Structure 1
Amino acid sequence: MSRVVVVHETGGPEVLRLEERPTPTPRAGEVVVRNEAVGLNFIDVYQRTGLYKMPLPMTPGGEGAGVVIAVGAGVTGLSEGDRVLYAGDGAYADEVAVNAARVTALPRSVPTDLAATLVTKGTTAQYLLFDTWAVKPGDTILVHAASGGTGTLLVQWGAALGATVIALAGSDDKVARARANGAAHAFNSREEGWPARVREATGGRGVDVVYDGVGQATFEGSLDTLRPRGLMVSFGNASGPVTGVALSMLQSRGSLYLTRPTGGSYVGSRELFQRSIGAVLEALETGKIRPTIDQRFGLADVQQAHRALEARQTTGATVLTP
């Protein structure tokens, strides 16, 4: 038997229930992974609350790492006993069946628990920095929630690419952390006037691109920091979804561009996923990114983990350990 976190109805953290289910059997093209760690992401909250519609009952979680314990028909390149990371639905469990196309063998140098945090956050940072906007030396980028899991990687990797990184974070401690990770300028987003402070840091020019995973609370302020024809990348809804966008908001601020990227468009195929996660692992091994696990919760403590994430009490990455 395998322990599984199940959501029967959408709602608060209390709807996350730990149940026992039969250990999965792989279908053709799948492997079963015994999790050693599962990464926690805000998209898990969106699914739990119903912001992102999922068939119920459902098991949250989209990334993890562990050991292959069973291999389905037609799978090549993976064997029982392999250490792997993966992207796949239903990761909040002791064991999970995963599409083998979204499984990657782990280098010996990469700890399994750290690998579990790199799939969603790492590939998101990769496609945002290389594909949504190809960051190059001399660019100035603004990163919201800069001490969170994805924000930390955006700051570190953006700086490694030669960009001037301006960071926003929700406390003075988190601001200091962003500076330590390579931000040239960092400000407290809970203080009024942060858009003006960001523009001042650019000499009044404005930033080339904004990476905003916060959503509703920061959307208009983010637009105010952009240079003419700059790009607003709204990639998350931590404060609620952005609604009521008028095109005149982009026109009046200098013919701005706006995009809402999702992983399905950037890493949805086997080839795109393997390319992206390969770049993430290379960045890890060369020191361009230096992720940390700052919170650990047992699978049985998943409700507590979600409460901490929603209360903005976390920094870096968070893992669940079966």
Structure 2
Amino acid sequence: MATTMIIAEHGGPEMFKPEDREIGDPGAGEIRIRHEAAGLNFIDVYQRTGLYPMELPHALGMEAAGVVEAVGEGVTHLKEGDRAAYASAPPGAYCEARVMPAAQVCKLPDAISFEEGAAMMLKGLTVQYLFHRTTPISKGDTVLFHAAAGGVGLIACQWARDEGIRLIGTAGTDEKCRLAEEHGAETCINYRDEDWPARVRELTDGKGVHVVMDAVGKDTFEGSLNSLRPLGMMISFGNASGPVPPFNIAELGGKGSLKITRPTLFTHIADHATCQEMAGMLMSKVESGAVKIRIDQRFPLTDVAEAHRTLEARKTTGSTVLTM
């Protein structure tokens, strides 16, 4: 038996209920993993509210770390007793243990703790595809990154610094801006106090940035487009403030032949070999110390509702984990 936090209908954080579930044995291509910690991400909020609809009742959670208890037929990259971590569909990481597909589960080096593993997989793999698999970004290029003091943002700040990329961040408080700068942002703009698109233009001598990485959505979309230089790339990869409203695609031409994409991590990691390669790069950066995983909030698994409330109120910095 394992405690699992489920929702039976879409709605607020109060929808979470604990349920004791039989776990069973893994089938072909599956593993059974006992979690030490699970990660918290905005995609969990989107699924809970119904922005990303799903069949209910269902457990939520897309990343976790723990110990492999059993492997099914055909699984060769993992064995019983391995330390492992993952970002993977289907949702279900908010639990003490589960049976799940093995392809996107990755071995976790001894040098990386279970909490770090649970906090870094979805966020770190997201940063990997943003910098390496979405549009060419070269040393010396300038990137604008929103929510730079969040879990993804702090990894992105360090990643950019390690690769010689100039990162301008935004955040909602002076404290969060200082945190982003401590982790590698050249400058971080408090978007509540400044006209941040104008400030971005000022910081780039009027040219604009090469790439915008925007997981905020509705509140920052127009300003993000206005922060790009001609031929720049807008990567819209989240909706923390709400979905981006419809817009006239001709605006991209008028603003300088801009490009725009709306990627998701799970497209990038769908192929087993690609996922393992991406995870290898992420883990190498963490093992080397180039990227440190900052965990600023911890909640017991059964307090996941409070964790969601804190995340939605934008009261978090760095990563948040649920402990078993």
CA contact (8 A) 2:23 2:99 kept: no
Amino acid at match of 2:134: T
* Structure 1 alignment gaps of length 5 or more: none
Amino acid at match of 1:97: V
Question: Shift of residue 265 of structure 1?
Answer: 2.3
Question: Shift of residue 42 of structure 1?
Answer: 0.4
Equivalent residue for 2:235, pick from 233, 236, 240: 233
Question: Shift of residue 192 of structure 1?
Answer: 4.2
Amino acid at match of 1:302: V
RMSD of equivalent CA atoms: 1.1
Give secondary structure in 1 for the equivalent of 2:179: helix
Q: Any runs of at least 4 consecutive aligned residues in structure 1 with deviations exceeding 6 A, and if so which?
A: none
Q: Percent of aligned positions with the same letter in both sequences?
A: 50
CA distance in 2, matches of 1:167, 1:133: 19
CA distance in 1, matches of 2:114, 2:136: 30
Following superposition of structure 1 onto structure 2, how do residues 119-130 of structure 1 map, counting pairs within 5 Å?
119-130=121-132
Amino acid at match of 1:254: G
TM-score relative to the length of structure 2: 0.97
Residue 53 (1) aligns with residue 47 (2): no
Encode CA deviations 1:159-200: one digit per residue, 9 max, x unaligned: 211111101011110000011111111110222411100110
Give the match for residue 68 of structure 1: 68
Question: Shift of residue 247 of structure 1?
Answer: 1.2
CA distance in 2, matches of 1:17, 1:86: 24
Encode CA deviations 1:78-99: one digit per residue, 9 max, x unaligned: 2222111123320000001121
Amino acid at match of 2:248: A
Following superposition of structure 1 onto structure 2, how do residues 11-160 of structure 1 map, counting pairs within 5 Å?
11-88=11-88, 89-160=91-162
Amino acid at match of 2:164: G
CA contact (8 A) 1:16 1:303 kept: yes
Amino acid at match of 1:58: H
Equivalent residue for 1:180, pick from 182, 199, 203: 182
CA contact (8 A) 2:268 2:274 kept: yes
Residue 261 (1) aligns with residue 263 (2): yes
Encode CA deviations 1:90-129: one digit per residue, 9 max, x unaligned: 0000001121111111111111110111211011000000
Give the match for residue 287 of structure 1: 289
Question: Shift of residue 135 of structure 1?
Answer: 2.2
CA distance in 2, matches of 1:163, 1:77: 34
CA contact (8 A) 2:84 2:108 kept: yes
TM-score relative to the length of structure 1: 0.98
Give secondary structure in 1 for the equivalent of 2:133: helix
Give the match for residue 245 of structure 1: 247
Give the number of aligned pairs: 322
Amino acid at match of 1:79: K
